[in-house]
Amino acid sequence: MQGVTMREKMSARSMLVLVLPTLGFSTGLSLITTYLPLILKRYTGSDTLIGFAIGGEGIFSALLPLWVGVLSDRIWTKRWGRRQPFMVFAGPFMAASLIMAPFQPGYVPIAISTFAFFAAYHFYTSPYQSLIADVTPANNAGKVQGYQAFMRGGGMFLGMVVAGFLFYRWEPSPFIMCGLLIMVFTYFTVRRIREPEPETMYRPPRQNIWGELKTIWASTGKYKGIQRFMVATFLWESTLAGLRPFTMLYFVYTLHATEQVGALLFGLVGVTYMVAAVASGYLADKYGRILVMRVGLFVFLGGCVFGFFIRDIRWAFIFLPIFGLGGSIVLTLPYAILMRLMPKEHVGQFTGMFSMMRGLANIVAPVLAGAAIDISRNFMGAGTEYSVIWLYTALMIAISLFFFRNTSKDEVI
C-alpha cells in the first residue's frame, strides 16, 4: 500500500491513520494515572510517595522532549525517515513497562515501571508530533489536530471508563490490552506513513552538546513570535492542569453534587470535547486557525467567569458544555498554529519545546491552583472556595491573550 506524504492531499482516512497512535498512548497515560495508584496503595500508606510515582511524568516531560526533538532534526534513515525510528524504538518499551506494572511485587518496582513508561512516552511523542508537522499539508493542519484531539479524548475515555470495567474483573487486563494497542497502532502508522526526505538545507548538521545548546539558544532568540507563543502555550495548558485535580471537589463541595453526578458531568464534558475538537479543526482550516482560536479563548473565558458564580448543580449542565466547547478549541489548535510558525530546519526542536512547556504546566499549575484555593478559604464560605479554580483559569486565559495578540498571518513562516 502506498504511504502518505506531505505532498499529497490528505483524506480523512489518512488523517486517522496518522493520529491513531495518539489513541494508544493517551489510553496508557490515563490508565497509569487513574488505576495504578490503587495498586500502589497496597504497598505504601504515603500519598506523597504515590504522588511521586505518578507525578514523575512531569520530570520527564521537562527534560526529554526538547533533547529528543533536536535529535530527530539531525538524523535521516532511508527506511523510517527522521521521526519514526524513535517511535519504533520507544513503542515496545512503553508497551512493556505498561504490561509489567501491575505484576510488580512492591512500590519500588512499580515506580520504576512507571518511570520507564513516562521516559518512553516522551521519547516517543515529541518526534511523533514532529512527524505530524512534517507530513500534514498546510490546508489540513486544523483537521489533523482536530482528529488528534478526538483520539486524545477517546484515549481518556478508554483509560478511565472502559478500563475500569476490565480492572475490577482482572486488574492486569487493561494494562495488557493497552500495551498491545500501542504496539499495533505504532506498527500500522509507521507502515502507512512515509516521511518525505528533507532538503539538505533543512537538515541541520550534528554537533556536540555545547554546539546544540548554542544553536537552540540562537534559534529560539531569533523567532520572537515563537517565544511569545510558547508562553501562551504554557498558560493554555495550565488551565486544564489546574482544573483537573479540583473539579470533582468543586462538584461535591461547592455544587453539593454526588460523585455519581460528578462523573456524569465529566462524561458530558468529554463528549463535548471530542465533538468540538473535530469541528474546530474543520472550522480552523476553513476560516483561519488564529480566528477560531481567539473565538475559543473568549468562549472559554466567559465559561470560566460564569463557573465562578454557579452554586446550583442544575446550572452546571448548561455551563459545562460551554467550558468543553471553548476548552476543546484552546487545547486542540495550538500545535496547528505552531506548525505554520516553525522554520523547517527546527521542527523537532520547537515541537520538543512545545511539549516541554506543556509538561512544565502540568507541574506548576496544580500547585498554583491549590494555593489559590487555600488563600481564598480565608475569604469565602466553607466549600465555595473551590469555585476559585474558575477565576484562576480565567486569569490564565486573560494573560495568554496578551502573548497571543500579535500572532497573525503576517508572522506565519
- Indicate the pLDDT class of residue 40, thresholds 50, 70 and 90: confident
* The pLDDT value given to residue 1: 36
- The CA distance from 247 to 261, in Å, is 12
* Nearby residues of 83 by Cβ (< 8 Å), 6 or more positions away: 72, 127, 128, 130, 131, 134, 195, 348
Residues whose CB is less than 8 angstroms from the CB of residue 372 and which lie 6 or more positions away in sequence, other chains included = 388, 389, 391, 392
Task: Report the pLDDT value the prediction gives residue 175, as an integer from 0 to 100.
Answer: 93
Q: Please tell us whether the domain made up of 222-404 is placed in CATH 3.90.1150.10.
A: no
Cell of 253: 463541595
Which pLDDT does position 204 carry in this prediction?
56
Q: Which residue has the higher pLDDT, 114 or 263?
A: 114
Residues in the chain: 413
CB atoms within 10 A of CB 241: 24
User: Tell me, what's the pLDDT at 203?
Assistant: 52
Distance (Å, whole) CA 207 – CA 214? 10
Residue whose C-alpha cell is 486524545: 152
- Closest CA relative to residue 124, chosen from 97, 149, 101: 97
pLDDT of residue 152: 86
How far is Cα 72 from Cα 130, in angstroms, rounded to an integer? 9
Where would I find the H helices in 136-170? 141-157, 163-167
Distance CA 147, CA 129 (A): 13
- Does residue 240 or residue 24 have the better pLDDT? 24
Please give the helix or strand (H or E) that residue 53 lies within, else none.
helix 47-55
pLDDT digits (tens, 9 = 90+) for 210-248: 455 556 556 666 677 788 888 999 999 888 878 776 777
Q: Do residues 178 and 156 lie in contact, with contact meaning Cβ atoms separated by under 8 Å?
A: no
Q: Which of the listed CATH numbers 1.10.10.10, 2.60.40.420, 1.20.1250.20, 3.40.630.10 matches domain 9-195?
A: 1.20.1250.20
Task: Tell me the pLDDT band of 2, cut-offs 50, 70 and 90.
Answer: very low
Residue 409 has pLDDT above 50, yes or no: no
The domains of the chain are located at 9-195, 222-404
Q: pLDDT tens digits, residue range 256-287? A: 877 677 767 777 777 787 888 888 888 888 88
pLDDT tens digits for 42-81?
887 776 677 677 777 777 877 787 778 777 777 777 777 7
The candidate with the shortest Cα–Cα distance to 323, out of 258, 249, 265, is: 265
Quickly tell me which residue has 520507564 as its cell: 116
Of residues 149 and 59, more confidently modeled: 149
Model pLDDT, residue 211: 54
Mean pLDDT of the chain: 80
| 238: Cα within 13 Å, side-chain hemisphere | 26
Determine if residue 234 is left, alpha or beta; phi over 0 gives left, psi from -120 to 50 gives alpha, anything else beta. Answer: alpha
Q: State pLDDT tens for residues 351-391.
A: 777 878 887 887 788 888 888 888 888 877 777 788 888 89
Range of 78-87, 97-106, 234-243, 306-315 with top mean pLDDT: 97-106
Q: For residue range 334-358, what is the model confidence (pLDDT) as tens digits?
A: 888 887 777 766 676 777 778 788 8
Q: What is the DSSP string of 55-72?
A: HTHHHHHHHHHHHHHHHH
Dihedral of the CA atoms 108, 109, 115, 120 (nearest 10)? 170
Q: What is this structure's pTM?
A: 0.75
Residue 193, strand partner residues: 4
Do 9-195 and 222-404 fold alike per CATH? Answer: yes
Confidence of residue 166 (pLDDT cuts 50, 70, 90): confident
Whether 136 and 81 have beta carbons less than 8 Å apart is answered as no
Smallest CA-to-CA distance from 154 within 2, 327, 352, 21 is with: 21
